[in-house]
Amino acid sequence: MPHNNARYVPSWFRSRVPALLLGALLWQHGQAQVLVENATLITEQEGVEAPFTGYMLAGADGLITAIGPGAYAGQLPSGTQRVDASGKFVIPGFVSGHNHLWQSAFRGIALDKVLQPWLDALHRTYGQFFANDDFYWFTLHGALDQLLHGITTTYSHSQRLDANEEQYLGSMKAEMEVGQHFIFSYNNDTKLKPAAMDLAFDAFMKKANANIALPGSMMLGAAINAVGNFSPDDTLAREMALAKKYKVGVQIHYLEQFSTGEADRAQWQSMKAKGALTPTTTFAHFIQTTDAILKDTAAAGAGMIWNPLSNGRLASGLSDIPKYRAMGVKVGMGVDGAASGDISDPFENMRMGMYALRMQHHDPAIMSAEQILRLHTLDTAKVLGIGNKVGSLEQGKLADFLILDPGSPLTGGVFNPVAHLVASMNAMNIEAIYVAGKLQVQNGKVLGKDTKAVQGEVVKRVASIVAAQKKAAKK
Ligand SMILES: [Zn+2]
């Protein structure tokens, strides 16, 4: 989409061109401008802490053109769509910093297990039976469901299991089609010889950069899902070297399961020596930490992604987030894969995290509604290095936002919009979701996507995988 949108149409041109023709021009560029009016705006912009009643204008280029209190006083080009949000909340789309989207097809699995036996029951039982376009369909399913729950930016911590490169990259293909912003975190095939692994990564980066460069692309960046900390060789060092060479971030699963905490902590010195600590490194989960580990992490400018739903479900434990932050560790939040988070819902995730901390500390001040909402929006965007693009509603950022109706389902009088939102609302209150200024979800339906057909396809494919596994187990 070229950037010569309506805002740059000179006035002499605007006055001579019939509205219909201008509308057609805008349509050609993909979308018209949108003006949301009379909204209770919860912007998450730093320094603008109090919600206010006002407007937000999204340009045809997908960016926020103007936002402020009261009524919009500027001139609107014809073709601008006006949305009256009286009595409704407008908030930035949620950002989820750690996700395995394919797991959407495997919910509720091994609900009585901690991490390792859960991995046995899922990855190590079914992973080898993935076929054809399974990764494509499962990822499509997961990303559509996240979008429906208000997650407009996801960090896709992809996993290849035993798939070949083409099947595995069906994950990235799916995400390009969803209408949700994403970073694709690439899982190197660490079984390859070092030179071959480097070549495969280079080929991936060419594809990734081509996707990122597409006009209006949903892909905001590439990253590495580093797994070398699980092997004693130099894999992690090579992954970190690739990240440095291609200037991408790294995310590492670390310190998740409680019972293996001691053994996992023993890797720390070696991980440091292999260059794992950088300002663009994030650790997923990072629960069984020590003060020394937190100190190192803060000093390196590294961060972590907190996944309360998944950490609760797998009985992994509770990261002491207020302490992490006090020590200078950057924190973001994620809903994790749906095989351990089970519901891709940031509202549930915020409540789970905030209430778990309050239970632990016997103190409601340990985590406020304002803090937890900031964590799942701007803070996560910042940890992922995309805080200049998403996570808050401010001029020049992508127009990714939710319109929430506190009257449907019924939620009562509003004393404090942020407290109301965090404590008493859920994904059912989402009336509309815009991504880059384009309406993507309305009243629980993803526009232009047949989610029922995706569900049908996924159920069929899971049944095939289960049947193949059973057949092989009999042999
Ligand atoms: Zn994970």
Same domain for 26 and 156: no
Same domain for 207 and 115: yes
Q: Provide the pLDDT for residue 30.
A: 54
CA–centroid distance, 196 to ligand 1, in Å, is 26
Same domain for 99 and 56: no
Q: What pLDDT, in 10s, does the model give residues 294-314?
A: 999 999 999 999 999 999 999
Residue 457 is assigned to a structural domain of this protein: no
The angle at the Cα of 397, spanning 82 to 297, to the nearest 5 degrees, equals 145
Same domain for 414 and 274: no
CA–centroid distance, 185 to ligand 1, in Å, is 12
Mean pLDDT, all residues of the chain: 94
Residue 451 is assigned to a structural domain of this protein: no
Domain that holds residue 409: 6-92+392-443
Q: Looking at this protein, which amino acid is placed at residue 40?
A: T
Residue 454 is assigned to a structural domain of this protein: no
Quote the tokens at residue 10: 């000179």
Same domain for 350 and 313: yes
Same domain for 355 and 331: yes
The enclosing H or E element of 470 equals: helix 451-474
pLDDT reading at 11 higher than 80: no
pLDDT above 70: percentage of residues in the chain: 94
Quote the tokens at residue 253: 């699963």
CA–centroid distance, 284 to ligand 1, in Å, is 7
CA–centroid distance, 450 to ligand 1, in Å, is 28
What is the maximum span of the chain, computed from C-alpha positions, in angstroms? 77
Would you list the DSSP string of 81-112? EEEE-TT-EEEEPEEEEEE-GGGGGGTTTTTT
Q: What pLDDT, in 10s, does the model give residues 101-114?
A: 999 999 999 999 99
Q: What pLDDT, in 10s, does the model give residues 52-95?
A: 999 999 999 999 999 999 999 999 988 999 999 999 999 999 99
- CA 361 to CA 363: how far, in whole Å? 5
User: CB-based contacts of 176: which residues, under 8 Å, 6+ apart?
Assistant: 211, 217, 218, 219
Same domain for 216 and 135: yes
The enclosing H or E element of 293 equals: helix 291-300
CB 391 within 8 A of CB 46: no
Same domain for 424 and 370: no
Same domain for 127 and 74: no
Same domain for 250 and 235: yes
CA–centroid distance, 468 to ligand 1, in Å, is 25
pLDDT reading at 403 higher than 70: yes
Domain boundary residue, one of 383, 411, 431 = 383
Same domain for 169 and 53: no
Residue 453 is assigned to a structural domain of this protein: no
Residue 1 is assigned to a structural domain of this protein: no
CA–centroid distance, 98 to ligand 1, in Å, is 6
Number of domains into which the chain is organized: 2
Could you tell me the CATH number of the domain that includes residue 315?
A: 3.20.20.140
ω into 409 cis (within 30 of 0): yes
Phi, psi dihedrals of residue 464, rounded to the nearest 5°: -65, -40
Residue 355 is assigned to a structural domain of this protein: yes
CA–centroid distance, 219 to ligand 1, in Å, is 20
Could you tell me the CATH number of the domain that includes residue 64?
A: 2.30.40.10
CA–centroid distance, 167 to ligand 1, in Å, is 20
Q: What pLDDT, in 10s, does the model give residues 133-190?
A: 999 999 999 999 999 999 999 999 999 999 999 999 999 999 999 999 999 999 999 9
CA–centroid distance, 89 to ligand 1, in Å, is 31
Residue 283 is assigned to a structural domain of this protein: yes
3-state secondary structure 330-358: EEEECCCCCCCCCCCCHHHHHHHHHHHHH
Same domain for 198 and 80: no
Q: What pLDDT, in 10s, does the model give residues 194-224?
A: 999 999 999 999 999 999 999 999 999 999 9
CB 74 within 8 A of CB 11: no
Q: What is the pTM for the complete model shown?
A: 0.93
